[in-house]
Amino acid sequence: MLKTITRRGFLTGISGGIAAAALVPRFTWAAERGVEVPGKAGMIVRSARFLDLEMPAEFFSSWITPVPHFFVRNHMHEPSTFDADNWKLSISGEVERPLSISLRELAKVDAHTITNTLECAGNGRGFQQPKVPGVQWQRGAVGTARFTGPRLRDILQRAGIKASGKHVMFRGLDEVPGKVPPFIRSIPIEKATDADTLIATHMNGAVLARHHGFPARALVPGWIGAASCKWLTEIKVLDQEFDGNFMKPGYRMPNQLISPGGEVNSADTHAITSLGVKSVIAQPGDGSSVSSRPLRIHGAAWAGEAAVARLEISTDGGTTWRDARLGSQQARYAWRLWDHVWRPQEPGEYTIMCRATDDQGRTQPQSAAWNPSGYLYNAVDQVKIHVLA
Ligand code: MTE
């Protein structure tokens, strides 16, 4: 039976309201299908409170991900009021002229479009061994969209960045339940003033959907999704990296490789920035039985700020590898679709694997570097299938 999740449902039916925040687990990790979220279709619900929706693997077949299939990652409640007329974006901190900009004024600034693969740093966490806490994403906390809006640097230049300005902080309008710290993160000034970093107001040619940050979000291409703050309301230029929960201890990687299950010294970590090289198999699905010969194996590969150079496929559990064909649609920061046609010689059980290599010479590892938060999982993807007679 279909259940519909609405904003009201978040606050009353599901969570029991903000007052009950302390009584319910922070995340529910069930992977439910058949739950209807307005504006979304066919998604895996990793958490209903707060909304975390994963794209099923079969949707990796479209170079541009339609908004209804684009994953959602919320750390807290989406803002309940959407008053575009009164929305203001403030720019303050290490600037000559602090200012506040309305949506109407923002719309007058030259807009640019960047096609970007946005991936949550925790995507693939569900595959980490030993298991780590957090949303148990598998493949689909990632999607590719065309984001449009003014360059962040054009807005910062209006305010005049002081020489002391080294980092740029974003604050979202999320509704913060109980004692949860607000969603505030920062990026270094070099990335903030890059021509491709945007204040996006549109996604795939339409006004941003509320799940994706209406009326404006940061778009920090090639970097982990957490850098791209949704429901943007405040930008502050800082003289150092923002020191708050979502920068530290959140979204940090150990500087050294640690053995699975090991402990990390928090002083020996760094903030995660760009994505690694990674690929996933869209189809055939894991555990599926197939009869078609030849069989089309396809998926997507991405590499953050780098470009995918090669995609290899193994149909014998990693013993031998062949090049797959990379799709013709490409843009800096966007994934490449790939496909490979395979003729299984005989029926039986097969393990199919894919691995990407980027133009920096990085290749997906056989197993991912384990870390206690399960960030940046990028091991060779694999599915087990049964080829029917
Ligand atoms: N911005 C705000 N204000 N609040 C959030 O919870 N989640 C971040 C980022 N921006 C988040 C946010 C994370 S962790 C990710 S992966 C991306 O938004 C997800 O973007 P999406 O929901 O549009 O796919």
How does pLDDT run across 87-143, given as a tens digit for each residue?
A: 999 999 999 999 999 999 999 999 999 999 999 999 999 999 999 999 999 999 999
Nearest atom in ligand 1 to the alpha carbon of residue 231 is: 3
pTM for this one? 0.92
Domain locations along the chain = 7-271, 278-387
pLDDT of residue 303: 98
User: CA of 144: how far to CAs of 28, 63, 187, 335, in Å?
Assistant: 26, 7, 21, 7
Q: Which atom of ligand 1 is nearest to the CA of 218?
A: 10
- Nearest atom in ligand 1 to the alpha carbon of residue 72 is 22
Distance (Å) from CA 126 to ligand 1 centroid:
19
pLDDT per position as a tens digit, 66-101: 999 999 999 999 998 778 889 999 999 999 999 999
Q: Give me the pLDDT at residue 32, please.
A: 59
Mean pLDDT of 26-44: 69
Any residues with CB less than 8 A from the CB of 271 and at least 6 apart, and which?
A: 241, 247, 248, 251, 252
Q: Is the CB of 75 under 6 A from ligand 1?
A: yes
- Residue 226 Cβ inside 6 Å of ligand 1? The answer reads yes
- Indicate whether residue 74 lines ligand 1 (CB < 6 A): yes
Assess contact for 318 and 353: CB atoms under 8 A.
Answer: yes
| Residue 75 CA, closest ligand 1 atom number | 6
Query: Ligand 1 within 6 A of 208 CB?
Result: no
Q: Is 183 in the pocket of ligand 1 (CB under 6 A)?
A: yes
Per-residue pLDDT at 3: 54
Q: Which CATH number, 2.60.40.650, 2.40.40.20, 3.40.50.720, 2.60.40.1180, labels domain 278-387?
A: 2.60.40.650
Q: 142-189 pLDDT, tens per residue?
A: 999 999 999 999 999 999 999 999 999 999 999 998 888 999 999 999
C-alpha distances out from residue 27 to 67, 73, 74, 76, 276, Å? 24, 12, 11, 10, 26
Determine contact, residues 344/387, Cβ cutoff 8 Å. Answer: yes
pLDDT exceeds 90 at position 252: yes
CATH topology of domain 7-271: Sulfite Oxidase; Chain A, domain 2 (3.90.420)
Q: Is the CB of 79 under 6 A from ligand 1?
A: no
Q: What is the mean pLDDT of the chain?
A: 91
Using an 8 Å Cβ cutoff, are 364 and 379 in contact? yes
Largest alpha-carbon pair distance within the chain? 72
pLDDT(16) > 50: no
Separation CA 104–CA 364 (nearest Å): 44
pLDDT at 31: 56
CB 72 less than 6 A from any atom of ligand 1: yes
- pLDDT band at residue 10 using 50, 70 and 90 as cut-offs: very low
